[in-house]
Structure 1
């Protein structure tokens, strides 16, 4: 009998943050993108959807592209890795 997810997915601290596109920097674009990621049982990112846009397509795509390559700690159920949707917030902020 499956008891449901006992440990939720998370992302590995070693993942490289997305790079803010040069054009976005020139245009002073900043914001928060929230991605919905299907974390596979093997820790890779399956489907990556934009759950909440930053309002800037370049930032949204930079976040989506980067997270697509990330490694995750998969969720577990009954001690076995399982696929699970996971929300990943990405913040692009201009430096002063």
Structure 2
């Protein structure tokens, strides 16, 4: 006689989706350091890029998208590139790090 089958283990709980938080709810450990594209400077391109950044539990940008374009592809691309190098202090909730989604403005203004 065969042993009774064991019940299948319960599936792991689904991870929580990134919690939307305000820009002031997270802190940079290493802020993005965008380099103004030379051709953009020559052409007088400037503007504000607002990125949507999913910050993982280690404080790394996990996902980056352009939420509001500057109107110039070069500036938008440089903002995304610079944000990949940024590091954040992990967002804590109830003593545990939590993945969050945060807006991150990067302003390209000629001096």
Q: TM-score, normalised on structure 2?
A: 0.74
5+ residue gaps, structure 1, are none
Do the aligned residues in 2 keep the contact of 1:9 with 1:39 (CA within 8 Å)?
no
Matching residue within 9, 26, 29 for 1:9:
26
CA shift digits 1:24-77 (9 cap, x unpaired): 001100000000000000011000000000000000000000001100112111
Unaligned runs of 5+ in 2: 1-18
> Which structure has the higher relative contact order (CA within 8 Å, separation 6+)?
1
Bigger strand share: 1
**What do you get for the CA RMSD once the two structures are aligned?**
1.9
Residues paired across the two proteins, number: 90
Tell which structure's C-alpha radius of gyration is larger: 2
TM-score by length of 1: 0.85
